[in-house]
Chain A
């Protein structure tokens, strides 16, 4: 349904600004009667258990309205694809909403026969299009129409919308999923008395999903690409930016897939990808809300007990070769200019990551941050500017500064302003006040994120799934708070260097190019 970047940093830094001002915060305030304080965060009563299949569960019972959030995290994304089959992970995510051999099935035997016929027609279509001599357009059209006709026939034998319909009529909210470079996450919220429904449906679709409506859903994903990338100036620029920065590593390939690759994907590829990467031992389930842990554990065993372990998916060992010089890319599109600048930084597990995250907050977290105050408020060369880390977390990645030039200023003007601010950060430590600002904001965001069942479930699943420990996300906040101004200056000097810089600019076709 959606594809997105990693969730962890947006959650940690989902704030406007920060910094404690002791004088300002020690007044005769209200005597808060809260039963839950910041230091409780790492002591949240999360119960963790693992089924024999390796499927991990995290349960956090909460008071409040009788609702429950379910999040399932799989450490699989477009990273696991190879050139020529981009978009596969995202398409699998779409197909897992199409029901199973139980849900939506009416005449499964007849349906399967039709699948075989349309897949054979698809093979013929690929063969025809792959002829070294020019493909016969009449034959291509005939085969496309045959696939379409067979899919219509198969549709009459099933109800591919039943998965959604069951959840809807039971009051579900927020039913969706996201795919990133490194993870796929499925989520839904239910009234608490209907929690068992999630177990029944999720176990069913994991056990025996049926990829019905495959060819029309592939068309849907192509429409998604047209909307998010090909008709979107920002989407086009991001795709070109990552491709330039990562010519070898899969971070350079689009999560939604390239149009030509999408046209060629087959149901068989989707099934193989699913079987390889969706073993129960890959799944982390977070359950947060008004639930009885004993019931959750009992349902987990009852519904998932027969899912056996699978061989682990093959590791993805590819690394981007060291970058030895500035790279630039320009996208020509009929829209006002935009700019991306990115420097290579190490994976999230590196000890420098907390300082880099603090650097991004110092640069663009709020109106007093250095980039915003300089470029937007003082020099007024940009209408917006932001810094972020990504697009993934496990491999060498990018520290990105994105900006929108304010007319009549050009991307070159904005780049000069960014360089000026970064030179200052490199040459002298940021002030203690700035660091304190970010620290207080972290403290506030710790409290605010505890307020949402869904946000907490996402955070727990992401932390356990990508780092093997749900508490790691909270420890990371502790490491952020411990960062010093000198450490921020050190990472700015170490990583924000010309030789690892990638610059991407979107401009109108007739505009003069950057010298």
Chain B
């Protein structure tokens, strides 16, 4: 296969150069109140696909600028787009259960759903449902360990009514006790059904094995959601701790002018309280570092395989981080062309899907590893093949064309980051709440283009140790091709009991 760039000679395809030249302009981030300008100019030399004898015209594209504004001290990101009679708004608030203790976990997990379903202090849940459905509004509420977000999508003509009820739900939630009970019942059911889905079971138990009693490894139990721990009062307390104007960012896009936005955000944001205290920083996890093989016996025709160990690569503007992104894509996160898919699926027909994982949190270690599912009779063979593919990447640098493919895919597909105003604005808001620089996308583009096969090999050699993997198998060992002990001493792992008290499963 021909590649239109030869790494060793640093011959970069013209289209990539044209984008890189412009992103150097993009990287000059404007100051507050200014628009974030983005410009891609045409380059006189076209790109091409030599394998098919094609040349392509240069891409001419000027992404519309996302404006940086502020109302009541809250950063606002705004983009006017009158193409459709629709307005999108997003609110993101720093803080989540990762900042709090286990006693808040159930309430933090319930919070997004019950903000939507629990009514407000002015309206019952039924009245809220009727208004939302009558206005054809789309509201979302979500949370992670570190932030809470909510979005509103409204036809332009129903925005004022939509904004009113959205504000009610965000600032004056009702947390109706009947709705809290319904949520509790649904969670009881979900907890009991957790073992029904082998992939979900594998992921949740793998997190427990690696993270123990840390927020990343927590799983809800019946004890967590008992009425003595989870009730409207705990939800109100949590809401007061998290929903603060000084921790939030707002995005607005669509069929609305800035003057119209400002007129509406003034009262909307004035109503939000300011919290006096910062939330405590999440404690870093103590990730299991020893190698080990764990088995959850389940009578299934297919085995789910998950493996990983800690990695020190952090999310940062650091060459190692960008090299790790390329390394991950080459290993198994890059679809059909990645090594795990090519070997396990393409060549051996062992699996429908295999992927690597390489997480890189900003303030703590992440994980590097792989996941797949395979018929029982190829469990050990598939697991060993994954380890072998990893070992090959430790031993030998990747081919230049492999690095090129990953980098080209990102750079040539860069325009897909600008398909809608809502997408562009919500990305900027997420950068704000996750404390990434606002030109992160542009930096990413430039830094990824600088990654070399040697840099990929270096980060792989430094960070990936196949022999140190913690491996979890969920399946039927009597039907495995070889005894699971072939992979190492096996520990039978008991999935969390629905009734288990919240303790560290590694040190019960």
Contact = CB atoms under 8 A, between A and B. Distances in A.
Nearest to A218: B349
B281 interface: no
A64 B419 contact: yes
A169 interface: yes
A444 B136 contact: yes
A30 interface: yes
Interface string A441-465: 1011101101101000000000000
Interface in B38-86: 47, 49, 51-52, 54, 56-61, 63, 82-86
Contacts of A334: 299
Contacts of B428: none
Contacts of B133: 16-19, 366-368, 437, 441
Contact of A231 (B131, B302, B346): B302
26 contacts: A16-B132, A17-B133, A17-B136, A21-B131, A24-B135, A25-B135, A25-B161, A66-B60, A161-B336, A171-B412, A173-B416, A193-B57, A196-B54, A216-B347, A223-B352, A223-B373, A227-B353, A232-B197, A334-B299, A335-B195, A336-B192, A406-B186, A440-B134, A440-B135, A443-B136, A444-B136
B189 A336 contact: yes
Given A21-B134, A161-B336, A336-B192, A451 B182 contact: no
Contacts of A17: 129, 132-133, 136
Given A17-B132, A29-B158, A169-B408, A450 B58 contact: no
A427 interface: no
B52 A197 contact: yes
A93 interface: no
Contacts of B349: 215-220, 223
B159 A213 contact: no
B404 interface: yes
Contacts of B192: 336, 407
Given A30-B156, A34-B156, A216 B136 contact: no
B255 A34 contact: yes
A27 interface: yes
Contacts of A216: 345-349
A171 B405 contact: no
B387 interface: no
B52 A166 contact: yes
B52 A404 contact: no
B49 A161 contact: no
A170 to B, nearest CB: 5
Contacts of B416: 65, 67, 171, 173, 189, 191
Nearest to B46: A193
A227 B202 CA distance: 14
Nearest 7 CB-CB pairings of A with B? A219-B349, A171-B412, A171-B413, A216-B349, A17-B133, A444-B136, A21-B134
A43 interface: no
Given A191-B59, A227-B352, A366-B133, A168 B335 contact: yes
A162 B15 CA distance: 21
Given A25-B158, A169-B408, A169-B409, A224 B85 contact: no
Contact of B1 (A30, A97, A165, A200): A165
A171 B411 contact: yes
B198 interface: yes
B186 A66 contact: no
Given A24-B134, A24-B135, A406 B189 contact: yes
B185 interface: yes
Output the residue of A16, A36, A162, A366 with the most chain B CB within 10 A: A16
A506 B302 CA distance: 20
B301 A170 contact: no
B227 interface: no
Interface in A136-192: 152, 155, 159-162, 164-166, 168-173, 175, 189, 191-192
Contacts of B395: none
B136 A227 contact: no
Interface in B266-304: 299-302
B52 A200 contact: yes
Contacts of A113: none
Contacts of A155: 347
A367 B52 CA distance: 53
Interface in A227-267: 227, 230-233
Given A32-B85, A63-B83, A191-B416, 10 more contacts: A17-B133, A30-B255, A170-B412, A189-B416, A226-B301, A335-B196, A367-B129, A383-B190, A407-B189, A453-B419
Contacts of B47: 193
Nearest to A174: B416
A193 B346 contact: no
A379 to B, nearest CB: 11
B160 A30 contact: yes
A226 B414 CA distance: 36
Interface in B314-334: 334
Contacts of A417: none
A376 interface: yes
Contacts of B58: 193
B17 to A, nearest CB: 15
A28 B264 CA distance: 13
B254 to A, nearest CB: 9
Contacts of A161: 336-337, 342, 346
Nearest to B3: A169
Contacts of B61: 65-66
Contacts of B435: none
B337 A168 contact: yes
B117 A173 contact: no
A377 interface: yes
B249 interface: no
B373 A227 contact: yes
Given A193-B56, A380-B185, A444-B155, A20 B346 contact: no
Contacts of A514: none
A29 B156 contact: yes
Contact of A451 (B190, B256, B346, B420): B420
Given A164-B337, A168-B409, A368 B129 contact: yes
A228 to B, nearest CB: 8
A169 B161 contact: no
A437 B82 CA distance: 26
Given A161-B337, A215-B349, A448-B153, A231 B136 contact: no
A194 interface: yes
Interface in A59-76: 63-67
Nearest to A333: B196
A196 B56 CA distance: 8
A131 interface: no
Interface string B464-508: 000000000000000000000000000000000000000000000
Interface string A399-425: 000001011000000000000000000
A416 to B, nearest CB: 18
Contacts of B54: 196-197, 200
B264 to A, nearest CB: 9
Given A19-B133, A25-B157, A220-B352, A30 B52 contact: no
A505 to B, nearest CB: 15
Nearest to B156: A32
Contacts of A213: 346-347
Given A383-B186, A448-B86, A160 B153 contact: no
A316 interface: no
Of B157, B188, B408, B413, most buried by chain A (CB within 10 Å of CB) is B413
A192 B63 CA distance: 14
Contacts of A97: 336
Nearest to B187: A383
A103 to B, nearest CB: 8
A451 B52 contact: no
Contacts of A65: 61, 63, 415-416, 418-419
A25 B59 CA distance: 42
Contacts of B370: none
Nearest to A366: B133
